[in-house]
Amino acid sequence: MYARYAVTQCVSQTTICFVLLIFGFEWWVYHISCRPTLVGAFFLNVTFALAVWSYLQTALTDPGTPRSPEWEAWRISRQEQTVKFAEEDPAAASTTDSLETAAAAAATAAQRRASASRSRHSCWRPGEVTWCPDCQADRPERAHHCSQCGYCILRMDHHCPWVGTCIGWRNHKQFLLLNWWSFWTSAIWLLTVSRPTALQALDLFTSMNYGAAPPSLLPVAGVLLAATFALITGGMFLFSLSMVCRNVTAIEELFPGENPYNLPGYLDNARQLLGNLNSPRLLLPLDSCRKTLTGVAFPMVPKAQMGGLAASAGAYGTC
């Protein structure tokens, strides 16, 4: 949805419509083709609404592109710092020679940053502004380039084709809740569907008499889809939650060395992404009210505290 290229946006929109059709098919089979209990239908509709809401919030929220408010504020702040430095030291730009020298130095620095970015792509860069050779621009720490979207994304985790966008700083919580509520919707679907039940539908399919009139295969398709959804979303939720509690993304999981962002407590790590864990908004796909962080800078563990390592250049696993 927030990709640079029109073709990618079209594919994303098509994918979103397809996934919503699957959601709608499961709801229709449960309520129309089968005959659920009233209590089961109530709980399923609650979790179903939360799952669809979480899906739309994940897909339609800017994950942290350069057009996001946090990135814009970071860019403006850096520009203001540059202007302030020039005002404090006007002699640095008082002559043409100094300007030409500064321009040449800047060009050389950009080339070096591009080369360094390629060589250090798989390394921790805590507290550093890095250079993206694809976007030809600076980016905040923990931001990475997505080849599908064509942009760098704040605290990028991965690109998810099923939501048609990246999972980053601004929609990671919604992605977690998408998996959480989708799992419970699928589980409730399988446990409360009746006439036929999930087991009866599968038994009906395996014992089908091909000489007689074929039974409806809609309940069978619904059971298979619900079971698949439960396995995938349940596993994805547990895996994603474990990374949140360790303050690491899917990209950073491959980096060598100690994680400089892994705070001593799991809950401290989780609060960075999920906000107040005691808030009623925790299980809703809404903003996390993370007032202390904006996704462009993150607190780090002192090097001396990381596994007893000395505060050396290699303690964070940098190249």
The token pair at 35 is: 């005959």
In this structure, of 52-56, 78-82, 110-114, 115-119, the range with the lowest mean pLDDT score is: 115-119
What are the structure tokens assigned to 249, written together?
């993304």
Identify residue 116 by its one-letter amino acid code: A
Q: What is the pLDDT of residue 318?
A: 45
Within a 10 A sphere around the Cβ of 67, how many other Cβ atoms?
A: 10
The residue type at 313 = A
pLDDT at 308 over 50: no
Cβ proximity of 151 and 139 under 8 Å: no
- pLDDT attached to residue 112: 47
Q: Residue 15: helix, strand or coil by DSSP?
A: helix
Give the E-state strand segments of 107-175 in sequence order.
130-132, 137-139, 144-146, 151-153, 158-160, 165-167
pLDDT tier, 312 (very low <50, low <70, confident <90, very high otherwise): very low
3-state SS, residue 131 = strand
- From 141-150, 173-182, 250-259, 309-318, the region with the lowest mean pLDDT: 309-318
The pLDDT value given to residue 88: 67
Question: At residue 304, does pLDDT exceed 90?
Answer: no
In order of 26, 29, 155, 192, 226, the CA distances from 221 in angstroms are 9, 9, 38, 16, 9
Query: What does residue 161 show for φ and ψ, rounded to 5 degrees?
Result: -65, -25
Q: Are 61 and 1 in contact (CB under 8 A)?
A: no
Q: What is the pLDDT of residues 155-200, one digit of tens each?
A: 999 999 999 999 999 999 999 999 999 999 999 999 999 888 888 8
Beta strands (DSSP E) in 140-227 are: 144-146, 151-153, 158-160, 165-167
Q: How many CB atoms lie within 10 A of CB 319?
A: 14
Assess whether pLDDT exceeds 80 at residue 92: no
